[in-house]
Amino acid sequence: MPPKRPAASASTSRKKAKTSSDEPSKSKRWSAVSGSANADADYKTIWEKPDKWYSFVTICPPIPDDDDDDDEEEEEEQEEQEKEDDEKDPEDESRDGPRCARKRCICSRPAGENPDHPWVVSRAGYRKYSTQQIHFSLRNPDYFDMYTYNDHVGYGCVQIVQNLVLDYVEAVERGWREQWAVCEGLGLWLLSSASDSMMMIDDGECVDQTMRLIGRMFLDMLAQLDSLNLVGDATDVKSLGTIMAIYLKIASGVRSIGGILEEDDDDKGGRKSKFQANRFDDAILSYANQRGVTLQGPEDIDEITANLEGEVELPKKNAKDPWGFKAALKIYVKNNGKGKPHAIGGDDLDITTWTSSQRKEANFDHKDPLGKREIDAIKKGMVMQLG
């Protein structure tokens, strides 16, 4: 065991994960006592108010702009004025949700009030993303003053992504809006620095297969929207251009560090119009080009798209498994599963599901970082987040 390391600063917040009478039964993915299960149940409370949660809002850029540093001095000079303006700003009444710490924050304002703002997401999608931050904290041994193994956090991130894929599959029962929210949440999660550790695990093949699966899943979503004539600028999917651009940026970022580079054996041939799983961003761009979607959000989106062809032939509307997502998922589960009913995902890397003796063994002081109070709260359905 390496020398004792100080844990990251941790504060714990708890709230009861309410349930509704029409909410599905607890997923078999979760353990009997599980912080992940509680976070999942808490997210599902949005289903009680679909009109609210599937509406679209603006958010501040989730990634720093290049000119942020240049604006820092100007923002410092305006700080006091901004504070005063925020305190008396009547527009704050339209903000239905949290704001970030950024000055001139535009988070949680109705998208219709800021039609030119490039960062748009549904409230449900942003809630889905925020929930992944909870899942991440529960899979980080540092937050529990523990050491398990070097890649625990990285594999925890893989598990988070796998759970989101399963969320997408299960969400078909609730319709495209919930599936789109899952895609939004996954995109924002992969864009965040917290997910970076997934790229550094000792199983590069798993990462590569996971990213290809994500690409097929998002294309499956776009095909479904296309069949409903919802791919375009003037549709009910107000965040479409933003989320498509996010997935293009994700693919570009993964490729820049050596991921998803090689062609599939059955994809070699050089035809620009033929889909290649490792080039799923070409297919995403093809939707944008052929359906007239304005890509927005990341400031380097023009540079990203300049390196793509965007000439992939799109499948016919209402085609069965148009991008091979369902078939690829079966293969992925076979290659990466654990032999359980839900072979991928789950919560075995969530430290709240471990026994007290397991936590003690890995704890720096050989004490259980979770006391009776915390365990009882989890058993009662309280949501715990460390950070």
Model pLDDT, residue 195: 96
Token pair listed for 349: 């890397």
- Structural domain boundaries in the chain: 17-64+93-385
Structural Rg of the chain based on CA atoms: 21
Model pLDDT, residue 380: 95
Tokens 């961003």 correspond to: 281
Give Cα 164 to chain centroid, integer Å: 7
- Give me the residues of the chain with pLDDT under 50, please: 1-14, 19-22, 69-82, 84-86, 88, 90, 264-269
Cα–Cα dist 128/149, whole Å:
28
Model pLDDT, residue 11: 41
Decide: 359 and 144 in contact? Cβ < 8 Å.
yes
Cα–Cα dist 122/240, whole Å:
10
Cα–Cα dist 2/331, whole Å:
37
Q: Of 52, 184, 176, 182, which Cα lies nearest the Cα of 121?
A: 184
Token pair listed for 366: 């050989």
Give Cα 359 to chain centroid, integer Å: 28
